[in-house]
Amino acid sequence: MKVGLVCPYTWDVPGGVQAHIHDLAIALIALGHDVSVITPADDEASLPPYVVSTGRAVPVPYNGAVARMAFGPLSARRVRRWLRDGDFDVVHVHEPTTPSLSLLASWSYDGPLVATFHTSVQRARTLAAAYPILQTALEKISARIAVSVAARRTLVEHLGGDAVLIPNGVSMASFADVEPFPGWPGDGGALGFLGRFDEDRKGLPVLLGAFEKLAAGRPRLRLLIAGPGDQDEVRRSLPPELVDRVEMLGLVSDVDKGRMLRSVDIYVAPNIGGESFGIVLLEAMAVGTPVLASDLDAFSAVLDGGRSGRLFATGDSDDLAANAVELLDNPEARAALVPLGKATARSYDWSTVARAIVRVYETVAPGAAMRPGSSRRR
Amino acid sequence: MQLWLWAVLLVVLIAGYVAATSNRLDRLHARLDATRAALDAQLLRRAAVTLEIAASALLDPATSVLLASAAHEARASSGDDADREVVESTLTFALRAAFADPDEAQTLAAEPTGLALLGELEAATTKVLLARRFFNDAVTATLAIRRHRLVRWLRLAGRVAAPTFFEMDDATPAHLSVAQVDPNAEALEVAPDVD
State the Cα–Cα distance between residues A344 and B141, nearest whole angstrom: 39
- Dmax over CA atoms of chain A, in Å, equals 76
Q: Let me know whether A285 and A363 are in one domain.
A: no
CB contact under 8 A, B34 and A368: yes
Q: Let me know whether A367 and A291 are in one domain.
A: no
pLDDT in tens, A31-60: 899 999 999 998 777 888 999 998 888 887
CB contact under 8 A, A166 and B188: yes
Label residue A144 by pLDDT band (50, 70, 90): very high
Min mean pLDDT across A119-123, A159-163, A230-234, A315-319 is at: A119-123
Identity of the amino acid at A370: M
Nearest to B194 among A162, A364, A371 (CB): A162
Min distance B141 CA to chain A CA atoms (Å): 7
Alpha-helical segments (H) within chain A: 16-30, 73-86, 101-108, 124-138, 149-159, 204-217, 231-237, 254-262, 279-287, 297-302, 317-328, 331-346, 350-369, 374-377
pLDDT in tens, B115-151: 888 888 988 999 999 999 999 999 988 998 888 887 8
Taken in order A58, A59, A62, A63, the sign of the CA dihedral is: positive
Could you write out the DSSP letters of every residue in B43-101?
HHHHHHHHHHHHHTT-S-HHHHHHHHHHHHHHHHT-TT-TTHHHHHHHHHHHHHHHTSS
Q: Let me know whether A162 and A178 are in one domain.
A: no
* Angle, CA of A124, A128 and A134, to the nearest 5°: 115
Judged against a pLDDT cut of 80, whether residue A16 lies above it is answered with no
- % of residues, chain B, pLDDT over 90: 22
Q: Let me know whether A177 and A304 are in one domain.
A: yes
User: Of A53, A78, A130, which is closest to residue A99 (Cα–Cα)?
Assistant: A130
Q: Let me know whether A34 and A162 are in one domain.
A: yes
Nearest to A149 among B131, B184, B191 (CB): B191
Question: What's the total number of domains in chain A?
Answer: 2
Label residue B50 by pLDDT band (50, 70, 90): very high
Q: Which residues in chain B touch residue A370, judged by CB atoms under 8 angstroms apart? A: 33-34, 37
Q: Chain A residue with minimal CA distance to B41?
A: A367
User: Would you give the distance in Å from CA A41 to the centre of its chain?
Assistant: 22
Judged against a pLDDT cut of 80, whether residue A213 lies above it is answered with yes
Judged against a pLDDT cut of 50, whether residue A376 lies above it is answered with no
* Angle, CA of A32, A368 and A376, to the nearest 5°: 110
Nearest to A142 among B31, B186, B195 (CB): B31
pLDDT (average), residues A314-334? 85
Q: Let me know whether A110 and A223 are in one domain.
A: no
State the Cα–Cα distance between residues A282 and B106, nearest whole angstrom: 28
pLDDT, residue B190, reads: 43
Q: Which domain holds residue A126?
A: 2-169+350-377
Q: Chain A residue with minimal CA distance to B191?
A: A165
CB contact under 8 A, A164 and B35: no
Q: Are A355 and B125 in contact (CB under 8 A)?
A: no
CB contact under 8 A, A370 and B141: no
Q: Which residues in chain B touch residue A352, judged by CB atoms under 8 angstroms apart? A: 183-184, 186-187
Q: Let me know whether A133 and A210 are in one domain.
A: no
Q: Let me know whether A371 and A313 are in one domain.
A: no
Q: Let me know whether A360 and A339 are in one domain.
A: no
Q: Are B84 and A320 in contact (CB under 8 A)?
A: no
pLDDT (average), residues A277-290? 84
pLDDT, residue B184, reads: 40
CB contact under 8 A, B130 and A373: no
- Tell whether A368 lies on the interface with B, counting CB pairs under 8 A: yes
Provide the chain A residues 264-323 that lie in CB contact (below 8 A) with chain B.
277
Contacts 24+ apart (CB under 8 A), B51-59: B51/B75, B52/B117, B53/B108, B53/B114, B53/B117, B53/B118, B53/B121, B56/B113, B56/B114, B56/B117, B58/B107, B58/B108, B58/B111, B58/B113, B58/B114, B58/B117, B59/B98, B59/B104, B59/B107, B59/B108
Nearest to B35 among A142, A161, A166 (CB): A142
Q: Chain A residue with minimal CA distance to B138?
A: A142
Q: Which residues in chain B touch residue A361, judged by CB atoms under 8 angstroms apart? A: none
Nearest to A371 among B33, B140, B187 (CB): B33
pLDDT (average), residues B37-47? 91
Q: Let me know whether A238 and A155 are in one domain.
A: no
Judged against a pLDDT cut of 70, whether residue B62 lies above it is answered with yes
State the Cα–Cα distance between residues A349 and A282, nearest whole angstrom: 10
Q: What is the ipTM for the molecules in this complex?
A: 0.71
- Tell whether A68 lies on the interface with B, counting CB pairs under 8 A: no
pLDDT in tens, A189-205: 888 888 877 777 788 88
Q: Let me know whether A238 and A125 are in one domain.
A: no
pLDDT, residue B193, reads: 39
Judged against a pLDDT cut of 50, whether residue B178 lies above it is answered with no
Q: Let me know whether A222 and A81 are in one domain.
A: no
pLDDT in tens, A218-248: 888 888 888 887 888 888 888 887 778 888 8
Domain containing residue A107: CATH number: 3.40.50.2000
Burial label, A81 (beta-carbon count in 10 A; 0-12, 13-18, 19+): middle
